[in-house]
Structure formats: structure tokens, C-alpha cells
Amino acid sequence: MAVSLKKMSKNPELLAAGHRSCGGCAAPAILRQTLHVAGPNTVIGFATGCMEVATTIYPYTAWKVPYVHCAFENSASTISGVEAAYRALKRRGRIPEDKKMNFIAFGGDGGTYDIGFQALSGALERGHNMLYICYDNNAYMNTGIQRSSVTPRGAATNTSPAGSVIRGKQQARKDLTACMVAHNIPYVAQASVSNHMDFMKKVGKALDIDGPAFINIMQPCYRGWRHKPEDSIEVARVGVETRYWPLFEVENGRWKVNYKPKEVVPVEEWFKLQGRFKHLLAEDKEGVIQWHQEQIEHAWSQLLKREAESKEEGQKEAE
């Protein structure tokens, strides 16, 4: 599916204005960009969370495409049921044979990495033709900024506060994208709300592919990350520049890094933009910042290695 901004500029918006997300929230951009690529023949499934609450307060809805929300942990299994119904009804001639539809489930990091992990894993294993997009803002933001399994080590949240004894989250983050790759599904990608063309191309690829696809997109939440509302996109951009959140894709097992920063930005510079790391910047006896930098270097070299291996495999195959 080709992504053309020019064409998109003429498309109607499928997410209406007037939804109730916070000013400066970057998440609605993800929804609008997704819908611009997917078009009207799309069913959207949502996990309970910020975007669910902000877009559908009865009797209003911001959605101009079919939308379904059931609960917190089951966005993937719910949309898998919709997709199964589509297949069943098509087989019975109740849906035209040539009508192609997209099935896209959304969840925040809490609804995806944590409570919805099992339902997501099951749906991917079953091979439904669906795309799952995790808008990852590093904590349970809808309930008021609680730690999730992807909250960075050291970051302060309301359930991992920067206390006088325990200073922020103690654990390393879960690498969900790697978990998704391990499901051997046709398409897995990491994206950032700062790189909209990259994200939309990925959505297009994911929807073109027959079978399950997963995209993990970083979305700074200024309430939880403690930065200025107008800096949401900039904070995401710097996060990509540090390589804390690399942009890459794994298509049929082949790894490709989509963006390689020319100049490496130290992770400390990214932390400086966010109040959730303020205590670490003031005092870091445990060397958490340094630990993050080492983790980034290690993960980046692994990523480049995988990309090189994939390239080699591709060349061998071509020969």
C-alpha cells in the first residue's frame, strides 16, 4: 500500500475532531495516521485506556469507521473474533467476495505488554489477518501514571516513585517487540510518533501482508514523562536519536533498521527533557544513566548484527 501525503491530504478524516485527549497528546496522531493508510473499510478494536476514553464517551464517538471496545486486556482477542466473523460470513456469501477489510487492534503499553499480553500472544499464534498497534507511552497513563513492564529503569511513576530509599522503577524494561518477533509472524515493526512517514509506511506494509502483524509505536505522554505538552513530538524524536527506541522492522524474519542516527545523542540528553528522570539527574549513585547507555549500545549492536545477517541471507537467497 503506497503512502502518499498528497493523496492523504484529500482523504476525509476518519477520526473526528472534538475527541477529549489532553492538549499536546501525541496519541491521536497515531490513530489519524493509521486511518489515513487503512481507509474506511476498517474495523478498529480498542483496549480500555486513554484513547478509548477520549474518543467514545456515550452518546458521542469520534470514529467514522466501525469501532469496538470490550475490556482492558482483550483488544487482540476481540478483534480476532471480528476477523473470524468476517471470514465466516464471507464464506457464506453474506459479505461480497471482493470486499477487503482491515482489522486493527490498539492497546496502550499496560493493555499490551502486561494485562493483554496473553490475549495478544494467542491471537498472533492463531494467524488472524489483523494488525495490532501498541501505543507505548511507558506507563499506565489513563489511570494516572503507574509503572508498567516497559517503564524505563529509574523512571518515576506513581507506583514507582522517586522515594528517599527506592528511587524510581528498579527493573529493566520488557522487550515486547522481541517477544512479538519470537512469534514468527510475517511482520513486526517498531515506530515512533516523531517519524510519521516511517510509521505510515509500516502500517501500509502490515495491512498488505496476509496474516498477523504488530507495530510498537513510542508515544511520549507529557503528563507522565513530565515534559512540556508542546514537546511531545520532539521528545519522541530525541528518543529515536539516542537509539533508546530504534526504528526497525522484521519482515518474514528479515531485520531492517529504518533509521540510523548520524550523530549519537547520549541517553542523558533525552532524560534531561523529562521530569520522570529528574531525581537521577540530581543524584545517580547506582549509575542508572550509565547502565541505560550500556544497554542501548548493546541492543544497537545486536540490531545491526541481525540486520547484517538478514542482508546476507537475502543475498544468498538471491544467488
Size of site (CB under 8 A) for another protein = 49
Q: Does 45 bind another protein (CB under 8 A)?
A: yes
Enter the C-alpha cell of residue 53.
Answer: 476514553
The residue (of 80 and 138) whose beta carbon lies closer to another protein is 80
8 A C-beta contact, residue 209 and residue 202: no
Q: Does 52 bind another protein (CB under 8 A)?
A: yes
Of the candidate residues 31, 35, 50, 78, the single one contacting another protein (CB under 8 A): 78
The residue (of 41 and 302) whose beta carbon lies closer to another protein is 41
Contact track, another protein, 121-160, x by CB under 8 A: xxx-xx----------------------------------
Of the candidate residues 8, 101, 299, 304, the single one contacting another protein (CB under 8 A): 101
Enter the C-alpha cell of residue 37.
Answer: 493508510
Of the candidate residues 8, 95, 179, 299, the single one contacting another protein (CB under 8 A): 95
Stretch that binds another protein, among 30-38, 44-52, 295-303, 305-313 (CB under 8 A): 44-52
Minimum CB separation from another protein for residue 37, in Å? 16
Stretch that binds another protein, among 69-77, 221-229, 232-240, 295-303 (CB under 8 A): 69-77
Distance, CA of 224 to CA of 137 (rounded, Å): 8
The residue (of 78 and 195) whose beta carbon lies closer to another protein is 78
Minimum CB separation from another protein for residue 120, in Å? 10
Using DSSP's 3-state secondary structure scheme, residue 147 falls into strand
Of the candidate residues 87, 228, 260, 311, the single one contacting another protein (CB under 8 A): 87
In which residue are the cell numbers 459479505 written? 95
Please name the helix (run of DSSP H) or strand (run of DSSP E) that holds residue 192, with its range, or none.
strand 187-192
Enter the C-alpha cell of residue 255.
Answer: 531485520
Minimum CB separation from another protein for residue 86, in Å? 6
8 A C-beta contact, residue 225 and residue 231: no
8 A C-beta contact, residue 108 and residue 134: yes
Of the candidate residues 59, 98, 263, 283, the single one contacting another protein (CB under 8 A): 59
Phi-psi region of 178 (alpha: psi -120 to 50; beta: other; left: phi over 0): alpha
- Which residues are CB-neighbours of 115 under 8 A, at least 6 positions away? 72, 73
Query: Is 95 exposed, middle or buried, given 0-12, 13-18 or 19+ CB atoms closer than 10 A?
Result: middle
Beta carbons within 10 angstroms of residue 35's beta carbon: 24
Give the binding site for another protein (CB under 8 A): 40-43, 45-46, 52-53, 56-61, 63-71, 73-74, 77-89, 91-92, 95, 101, 118-119, 121-123, 125-126
